[in-house]
Amino acid sequence: MDSIFNASGSRTDQLLLRAEIDDFNTAYAGALDEGRLQDWPGFFTDDAFYLITSRENHDAGLPVGLVYCEGAGMIRDRAFAIERTAMFAPRYLRHIVGTARLLRAGDDGTVESTANYLVLQTLFDRPESTIHQVGTYIDRFRLIDGVLKLQERRCVYDNLLVPNALVYPV
Amino acid sequence: MPWLQVASSGDVKETGALGVDVEGTPVALFRVDGAVYATHNICTHQFAFLSDGYVEDGCVECPLHQALFDIRTGRAMSAPASADLRTFAAKEEGGLVFVDLTRSAGTVAGEPHQEPAGEPGAAAEAGERLVIVGAGQAGARAAEAMRQAGHAGPILLIGDEAEAPYERPPLSKELLLGTADRESIRVLPADRLPSLGVGVRLGCRVTAIDRTARTLSLSDGSAVNYDKLLIATGARARRLSVPGADLPGVHHLRTIAEAEALGAALRAARRIVVVGAGFIGLEIASAARRLGAEATVLERADTPLERLLPPAAGRVLQSLAEVHGVAFRFGVEIAAIRRDGAGLRVDCADGTAVAADAVVVGIGTEANLELARDAGLAVDNGILVDGEGRTSDPAIFAAGDVAHYPTPINGRRCRLESWQHAQEQAIAAGRTMAGQATTYGRTPWFWTDQFGRNIQMIGLPSRDATVFVRGTAGEAGSVLYLLEGGTLSAAIAFDDPQAIRDARARIESGAPVDAASLGAVPLPAATSASACPGAPSDCAASGAPAEESQTMAEPQPSFRWPEEGLTRIPDWVYTDETIYRREVERIFHGRSWNYVALEAEIPNPGDYVRSNVGPTPVVVSRAEDGSINVFENRCAHRAAEFCRSLRGNAKEFVCPYHQWSYDLKGNLVGVPFRRGVDGKGGMPKDFRAQDHGLTQLAVTTHRGVVFASYASDMEPLADYLGPDIMGEFEATFDGRPLKVLGYYRNTLPGNWKLYHENLKDPYHATLLHTFLVSFGLLVAGNRSLMLCDESGRHGVMASAKSDGKNVSQENKKEMRAYQEGMVLEEPRFVDYRPEFDSPWSVTMMTVWPNMIVQREMNTLGIRQIVPTGPNEFIMNWTMFGFEGDDDEMLRHRLRQGNLMGPAGFLGLEDNEAIKYVQDGMKNVPDGRHLVALDPATEAGTSDTLISESAIRAMYRHWRSVMDV
């Protein structure tokens, strides 16, 4: 991976990596938008960290998250709990993820990137879809058996006031 | 560097400043008492040219924020400036002005502009010797006026107080409240009298006047000769002549020392008795209420200010005081004051008694006229003078409070105790003594500050005048007009200086006026009685404020509570706009402590956070003295919400619209171009910054949690919460320093009270929150308690975690949510790690009206309710841990945070459920809720989870506050 970011790394390699991350994000959004919550944990490594937090907290270095998962177990617990136990009005969500921006490659074979996202929510009793969350993913990927997985995803949202409740993952 | 020629002499005038550029340095040139001075032209506070400022009394006032600098020394005299201004040496030669940038003003000894040496008597031969007895405002102003009128001979000012001359109006206002200090109320800058060559002898009393020898005898045994004498000995506070009048704790108010002693006493006292309902008495009562003490005014007459005002006008002032919680008793003779335990007891002649921690006697003054009377001068209740201040002895003058003078109003003579009189009549007398005969004929003008109102009075009121009112008497912008014989004799304006200027013109013209042309109507004789018919006494103790009765009189929908009582709640409680507005007024802005911040968010001076009390935006700020201050985030000028950052550190708050600036306590310190430019525009002359600060709230803190209240006389937090709730509060806030971990914020489309009800409703927890139940965190068999305080407004829902094994089959069937076999992969995040001295693993505390304390095992947070209307509110969550948490404990709290907040397993369900409830009320007219669970407990604390008694207790309280 490291070579991709070297001066000698080819432009094509960089484009391919970005395309791969964009494909990843598209698949990730697809799983959530289609309500396949059980597939969502599969996008993460076993030691993954997943966080949804406000830009207010992120900028101030404050650690809390609306969702704070250490490890794939907690991510699976959340998917399970939301799907099986949580009470909320039915809704559709749609994730619009922008093109990834590659930041750097770590010596340990990780890749850091960001991508802006928009989550639209549609409730069944209103005609309009509302912008439920606007933010950016701050990601660290790792290749597991040749497949990109998220070792860390921080979803940092700009709209500090969450509209009522955030049910599904971002 | 040589002297640089910078201007022509003629361009530097006494009335203003000239800005010049001297080799790149902006310099302001001034002329004070004939001599030129030069300073740097830019204010040391913020960028503004002092040459655009206002020059007065040897000082220049910055046009931007009214920083004041001494022109001679550059010394910064007032906030907001703290750094002195650079001065430059300046001189005049041959009609030109020269400045030396390398030297400051003080280094040019012997230059022509230096003041004459201040030794009195050094130039005795040059003119008559003028002596002033009394070093108050009148004495000091007269001395200055004598010199300014060209008197070249010696001037000597003798005062019996060991204090440099000071103004007395702040003694009963700012000095009591601690918003001004003794140095800020001096009549003149410290070096003013020496620089004018006025001799000053303080701490020395004149004991006799020998008019034949023109000699004064002094208390130190010496004698002083005079050619002309000014008596400005003022007045003294009248004393009660009853037993106990001189006990410790019985105060009078006349001197700076007495004001400081009284201020300290008011701050320490819970109950103040004021004897005398005059202006001083009312101002002291106002200060006492502002400082949080109960105030009772005892008055011998039947209305306030009976000697001065028509009874109807006095009652307006009474009403204003009563609305602010002052109790009055009229027709009361004081029999004695006694010590009673740690406090005092005022015994009345009718056999009743009033307890007090401090007693203040404000029953008027007596002129200090013994000196004049013993010398054979004509006196009444003051020393008789003519319009120029001359007594019956042409060599002796009198000025200020002691002078009995002919007013311009129908030639009526009286003794006036006002700032204006002490200032201007003394200046007239001083000028006359210096050879420039000056008649004082100003229409009497007076102001008082009480209960948040600036009240000004123009003219000479009399008891027999007929009173007319424009506006609602006592409200801001209202005016009382006193008419006698078809002309205006006086006007009293509440927060309306313009009305005073208009009234002055009418009074001075003497033209006939009628009420209609003033836009006024007759003032009902019983204005005050509207709050308390027929019984003007003790209104505040029992009565609703007058404004409430007005609110009730408005046509409005009928809010009839269902006949079944507390087991039914009508929908309009949650949906009606009128109800919501009344809640803001009576609950959030009423007698409540509202959570606003944690001290940990503002550890350092200048730190601030934006917050809310009810819907109202406030700023919570830590001032330089370490105090925490809460004030409205609304500029006093044009209402702009000036503070936009969520938090930060500031030296001051400046509204960006017109640059009005406020200190860290919310006091107004600067108004740009307050004096206008080139003498045009600007604020009215009588504009006083201290009357236009931000609305400040009462503040209390406990264990690092900050509360604010619009009520200035709130009971202590411990009394507000009651012992049970306070016990639970202190179990969570156990003394460990708090550490903020971050924030959640969400809107919630439901009525704000539904959130309280959600946490007074243990019934829902077992049924809605499958997550809790599935993992045994809360089941019907768990040990639990729903605790309410006595009032019913606060509550704590508490439970102790069980492992779920003891859930009976019968209970499981009832709880459809219970899911056998559901296990978490990472169950550690719902562990409870005991850290509190409490039998409960979970407590959810509702502190009326806007705070929830979440102790969900180890995830801790405060939720602040910010209502934005009947149908929606904002919830601000401040999640915290403790300083000293190790990394693992911190992460445990963060992991456990997945339970709460707008994405929490439990939190999102509550938010959804509350939205469901509000939605359910939208399209069903005249609906009602059923809250009938647990009839064995009508309202209040219950030890079963299957109960709604806490909700009923809350509504019992709510209905009493809301009058529905």
pLDDT digits (tens, 9 = 90+) for B615-639: 999 999 999 999 999 999 999 999 9
Beta bridge partners, B551, equal none
Q: Which two tokens stand for residue B204?
A: 């020395």
CB atoms B894 and A160 under 8 Å: no
Q: How many domains does chain B have?
A: 6
B residues 631-650 closer than 8 Å to A (CB): 646
Q: Which residue in A has a C-alpha nearest to residue B907's C-alpha?
A: A165
Mean pLDDT on B742-747:
98
CB contact under 8 A, A74 and B891: no
Listed range (B278-287, B590-599, B718-727) with the worst mean pLDDT: B278-287
For chain A, say whether B887 makes contact (Cβ under 8 Å): no
Q: Considering chain B, what is the average pLDDT of its residues?
A: 87
Does residue B333 form part of some domain?
A: yes
pLDDT at B541 over 60: no
- Reply yes or no on whether the pLDDT at B812 is more than 80: no
Coil, helix or strand at residue B123: coil
- Mean pLDDT for A135-162 is 96
Domain presence at residue B526: no
Closest CB from B743, B749, B891 relative to A54? B743
Neighboring chain A residues of B768 at a CB cutoff of 8 Å? 87
* Same domain flag for B761 and B772: yes
Question: What's the average model confidence in pLDDT over A52-72?
Answer: 97
Verify whether the Cβ–Cβ distance B903 to A67 is below 8 Å.
Answer: yes
Residue B176 within a domain: no
% of residues, chain B, pLDDT over 70:
91
Q: Which residues 795-834 on chain B approach chain A with CB closer than 8 angstroms?
A: 817, 819, 822, 824-826, 829
Q: Which of B305, B334, B363 finishes a domain? A: B363
Among the listed residues A50, A116, A58, the one whose alpha carbon sits nearest the alpha carbon of residue B743: A58
B79 in the same domain as B195:
no
Task: Mark yes or no for CB contact A64/B894 under 8 Å.
Answer: yes
Q: Best residue in B601, B778, B898 to probe A by mutation, most A CBs within 10 Å?
A: B898
> Residue B178 pLDDT > 60, yes or no?
yes
**C-alpha B810: how far from its chain's center?**
62
pLDDT at B599: 97
Task: Please give the DSSP secondary-structure letter assigned to residue B864.
Answer: E
Least confident range from A154-158, B90-94, B513-517, B649-653: namely B513-517
Q: Which of B80-84, B93-97, B515-519 has the highest mean pLDDT?
A: B93-97
User: What's the one-letter identity of residue B497?
Assistant: P
- Dihedral sign for Cα B271, B277, B278, B282, please: positive
| Torsion sign over Cα B917, B920, B924, B928 | negative
Is the pLDDT score of B872 beyond 90? yes
**B762, B873: one domain:** yes
* Separation in Å, CA of A5 to nearest CA in chain B: 34
The counts of H helices and E strands in chain B are 22, 55
Contact status of B774 with chain A (Cβ, < 8 Å): yes
Nearest to B826 among A63, A74, A162 (CB): A74
Residues of B in contact with A74 (CB under 8 A): 825-826, 829, 895, 898
- Answer yes or no: is B581 within a domain: no
User: If pLDDT is split at 50, 70 and 90, which confidence band does B98 have?
Assistant: very high
- Complex ipTM over 0.85: yes
* Residue B822 CB coordination number (10 Å): 15
CB contact under 8 A, A54 and B745: yes
The CATH number of whichever domain residue B340 belongs to comes to 3.50.50.60
Q: Does residue A7 surpass a pLDDT of 80?
A: no
Q: Which residue in B742, B749, B904 is closest to A57 by CB distance?
A: B742
Nearest CA in chain A to B749: A164
Residue from the list B745, B770, B898 with its beta carbon closest to the beta carbon of A160: B745
Please determine, for residue B122, whether its predicted confidence score (pLDDT) is greater than 70: no
pLDDT tops 80 at residue B116 = no
- Element of type H or E holding B428: helix B426-433
Mean pLDDT in residue range B396-409: 90
Residue type, B159: G
Q: Are residue B785 and residue B926 in the same domain, yes or no?
A: yes
Question: What does pLDDT average to over chain A?
Answer: 92
Chain B CB contacts of A68 under 8 Å are 894-895, 897-898
Backbone angles phi, psi at B68, to 5 degrees: -115, 130
> In which band, very low, low, confident or very high, does the pLDDT at B810 lie, cut at 50, 70 and 90?
low
Q: Do residues B458 and B490 lie in contact, with contact meaning Cβ atoms separated by under 8 Å?
A: yes
Residues 6+ apart with CB under 8 A from B672: B48, B63, B64, B65, B658, B659, B660
Phi, psi of B346 (to 5 degrees): -100, 115
Model pLDDT, residue B388? 92
In a domain, B382, yes or no: yes
Of B740, B898, B911, the CB nearest to A67: B898
CATH number of the domain enclosing B914: 3.90.380.10
pLDDT tier for residue B18 given thresholds of 50, 70 and 90: very high
Contacts of B774 in chain A (CB under 8 A): 85
**Tokens representing residue A3 in the block:** 């070579």
pLDDT of residue B811: 57
Would you place residue B817 in the very low, low, confident or very high pLDDT band (cuts 50, 70, 90)?
very low
Boundary-marking domain end, from B464, B495, B510: B510
Query: In this structure, is residue B517 part of a structural domain?
Result: no
**pLDDT (mean) for B259-271:** 90
Q: How far is CA A116 from CA A18, A34, A155, in A?
A: 14, 20, 9
Does one domain contain both B23 and B144? Answer: no
Q: How confident is the model at residue B536 (pLDDT cuts 50, 70, 90)?
A: very low
Q: Chain A residue closest to B880 (CA)?
A: A64
Per CB-CB distance under 8 Å, the chain A contacts of B891 are 70
Is B744 part of any domain?
yes
Selecting from A52, A74, A87 the residue whose C-beta is nearest the C-beta of B903 gives A52
pLDDT over 70 (residue B875): yes
Helix (H) or strand (E) holding A75: helix A72-84
Best CA proximity match to B304, nearest among B275, B324, B337, B325: B275
Residue B778: its pLDDT value, please?
A: 56
* pLDDT value for B538: 35
Mean pLDDT for B558-587 is: 93
Both tokens of B747, joined, read 């809107």
Q: How confident is the model at residue B820 (pLDDT cuts 50, 70, 90)?
A: low
**Residue B502 sits in a domain of what CATH number?**
3.30.390.30
Is the pLDDT at B107 greater than 90, yes or no? no
Verdict on whether the full-model pTM lies above 0.90: no
pLDDT at B781: 62
| pLDDT at residue number B533 | 35
Residue-level pLDDT at B500 = 83
Expressed as residue numbers, the domain containing B291 is 239-363
Residue-range domain boundaries for chain A:
2-157
Residues B658 and B751 grouped into a single domain: no
Report the C-alpha gap between A27 and A148 in whole angstroms: 12
Chain A positions touching B895 (Cβ under 8 A) are 68-70, 74
The strand ranges marked E within B176-270 are 198-201, 206-210, 215-218, 223-225, 228-231, 235-237, 250-251
Q: What percent of chain B has pLDDT over 90?
A: 58
Looking at residue B2, its amino acid is: P
DSSP secondary-structure letter at B80? T
DSSP tag of B626: S
Report the alpha-carbon distance of residue B515 to residue B461 in Å, rounded: 16
Cα Rg of chain B, angstroms: 34
The mean pLDDT value for B70-76 works out to 88
| Alpha helix (H) residue ranges in B775-855 | 809-814
- Work out whether strand B383-384 and strand B403-406 pair parallel, antiparallel, or are unpaired: parallel
Residue A135, exposed/middle/buried by CB under 10 A (0-12, 13-18, 19+)?
A: buried
**Between chains, do A65 and B740 touch, taking CB under 8 Å as contact?**
no
Q: Which residues of B touch A49 (CB under 8 A)?
A: none
What does the alpha-carbon distance between residue B961 and residue B616 come to, in Å, rounded to a whole number? 20
**What CATH number does the domain located at A2-157 have?**
3.10.450.50
Q: In which band, very low, low, confident or very high, does the pLDDT at B121 lie, cut at 50, 70 and 90?
A: very low
Q: By a Cβ cutoff of 8 Å, what residues of chain A touch chain B?
A: 52-54, 56-57, 60, 62-71, 73-74, 76-78, 81-82, 84-89, 160-167
Residue of B878 and B461 predicted with greater confidence: B878
For residues B472-500, one letter each, b for 16 or more C-beta atoms within 10 angstroms of the residue's C-beta and e for the rest, the string is: ebbeeebbbbbbbeebbbbbbbbbbbebb
More confident residue, A44 or B504: A44
pLDDT of residue B544: 34
Does pLDDT of B808 surpass 60? no
Give pLDDT, residue B97.
94
Strand order in the sheet with B453-459: B445-450, B453-459, B487-494, B479-484, B466-470, B521-522
Burial class (CB in 10 A: 0-12, 13-18, 19+), B887: exposed
Q: Is the pLDDT of residue B600 over 50?
A: yes
Most confident of the ranges B90-99, B186-195, B871-880: B871-880
Same domain, B722 and B803: yes
Whether B137 shows a pLDDT value over 50: the answer reads yes
Encode pLDDT of B675-695 as tens digits. 899 889 999 988 999 899 999
Separation between Cα atoms, residue B273 and residue B250, nearest integer Å:
9
Say if CB B675 and CB B54 are below 8 A apart: yes
pLDDT for B408: 77
Distance CA B338, CA B336 (A): 6
Strand partners, B406: B413
CB B498 within 8 A of CB B444: no
Handedness of CA B830, B835, B840, B846 (dihedral sign): negative
What pLDDT sits at residue B24? 82
Render pLDDT for B774-801 as a digit per residue (tens, 0 to 9): 765 555 567 889 999 999 999 999 988 7
Element (H, E) at A111: strand A110-123
* Contact assignment for B768 to A161 by CB distance below 8 Å: no
CB B675 within 8 A of CB B687: no
The residue of chain A with its CA nearest to that of B823 is A77
Q: Mutate which of A62, A66, A88 to disrupt the B interface (most B C-beta within 10 Å)?
A: A66
Chain B residues 727-746 with a CB less than 8 Å from chain A: 740-746
